[in-house]
């Protein structure tokens, strides 16, 4: 798989308005540049993101299916009475809906989007194995799990991949579950390596977000937390400029430099943003440079993000 995956959360309606044709052009451009891993989810607009991805890749999916890796996620129902739902009925509906929206006969990687503590891990793992046996999915992963959740899942069938949030302002996976993933040969595909835009260098203290954008309700993008982290980004910008790269590229390269991280999932709604992200995969950071980045971010405020229950 390509070390940069094209993420599609931004195509589900949770990030404000966008132009569909421009977004599809970005997907096409990513494919032209060698991206072969595309990540989406049932919950991204409840089919909107999957349908758009399927539409953008339809001809190649029909012509050369095995050269594309389509990953999606299920097992949550945001804004419902049970926002995390890994029971058989909802997972079955999720797999069938994803196959239909993507217009494919199998899903390469199916991931449980968030752990459901009310559904036994062995039951969830067993259901997914049934989908593998039926040929509807080929590989099984999880997202947002801790080490204990991974271990419980592993007792029934191996977890093949883990998708956690990870960026310079959110580093908690370094203690749990990244060590478990390394020790147990689990592929790690991190999401939000740009801190949901914080690390793009595009924001100022005056930046605001549309009401339909989840960041308008997030503490990470308001008040003192936002201002303090923007100051950190300014220092990182200067450091990146000294290397002749952008702060976005620095953030992605830093993420991929961490032991045990295999793929960074980066979203884009414009083709112009794709090339810069892909170039970041080829940037090498020395031990001294990584230590300097740690020093520059030492006073960063840790942030969280969206979950099935809402936005922190």
Give the pLDDT of the chain (312 residues) as one tens digit per residue: 999 999 998 888 777 778 889 999 999 999 999 999 999 999 999 999 999 999 999 999 999 999 999 999 999 998 899 999 999 999 999 999 999 999 999 999 999 999 999 999 999 999 999 999 999 999 999 999 999 999 999 999 999 999 999 999 999 999 999 999 999 999 999 999 999 999 999 999 999 999 999 999 999 999 999 999 999 999 999 999 999 999 999 999 999 999 999 999 999 888 888 999 999 999 999 999 999 999 999 999 999 999 999 998
**Type and span of the H or E element at 185:** none
Tell me how far apart the alpha carbons of residues 114 and 86 are, in angstroms, rounded to a whole number.
9
- What residues are annotated to the active site? 44
Residue 202 makes CB contacts below 8 A (sequence gap 6+) with: none
- Chosen CATH of 4-196+258-284 out of 3.20.20.100, 3.20.20.150, 3.30.70.2860, 3.50.50.60: 3.20.20.100
Does this model's pTM top 0.75? My answer is yes
Residue 173 makes CB contacts below 8 A (sequence gap 6+) with: 164, 165, 166, 190
Angle of CA points 106, 79, 270, to nearest 5°: 60
């Amino acid at each position: 798989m390509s070390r940069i995956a094209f993420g599609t959360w931004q195509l589900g309606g949770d990030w404000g308005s966008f132009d569909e044709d421009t977004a599809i052009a970005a997907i096409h451009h990513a494919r032209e540049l060698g991206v072969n891993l595309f990540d989406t989810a049932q919950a991204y607009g409840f089919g909107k993101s999957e349908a758009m991805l399927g539409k953008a890749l339809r001809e190649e999916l029909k012509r050369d299916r095995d050269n594309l890796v389509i990953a999606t996620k299920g097992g949550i129902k945001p804004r419902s009475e049970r926002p995390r739902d890994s029971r058989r009925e909802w997972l079955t509906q999720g797999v069938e809906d994803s196959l239909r929206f993507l217009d494919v006969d199998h899903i390469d990687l199916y991931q449980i989007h968030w752990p459901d503590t009310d559904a036994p891990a062995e039951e969830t793992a067993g259901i997914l194995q049934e989908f593998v046996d039926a040929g509807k999915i080929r590989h099984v992963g999880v997202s947002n799990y801790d080490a204990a959740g991974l271990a419980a899942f592993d007792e029934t069938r191996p977890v093949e991949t883990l998708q956690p949030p990870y960026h310079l302002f959110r580093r908690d996976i370094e203690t749990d579950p990244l060590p478990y993933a390394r020790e147990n040969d689990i592929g790690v595909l991190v999401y939000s390596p740009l801190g949901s835009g914080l690390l793009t260098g595009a924001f100022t203290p005056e930046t605001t977000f549309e009401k339909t954008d989840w960041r308008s309700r997030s503490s990470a993008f308001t008040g003192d937390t936002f201002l303090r982290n923007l100051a950190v980004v300014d220092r990182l910008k200067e450091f990146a400029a000294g290397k002749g790269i952008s702060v976005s590229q620095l953030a992605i390269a830093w993420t991929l430099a961490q032991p045990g991280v295999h793929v960074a999932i980066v979203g884009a709604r414009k083709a112009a943003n794709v090339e810069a992200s892909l170039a970041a995969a080829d940037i090498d950071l020395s031990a001294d440079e990584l230590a300097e980045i740690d020093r520059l971010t030492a006073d960063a405020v840790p942030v969280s993000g969206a979950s099935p229950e809402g936005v922190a």
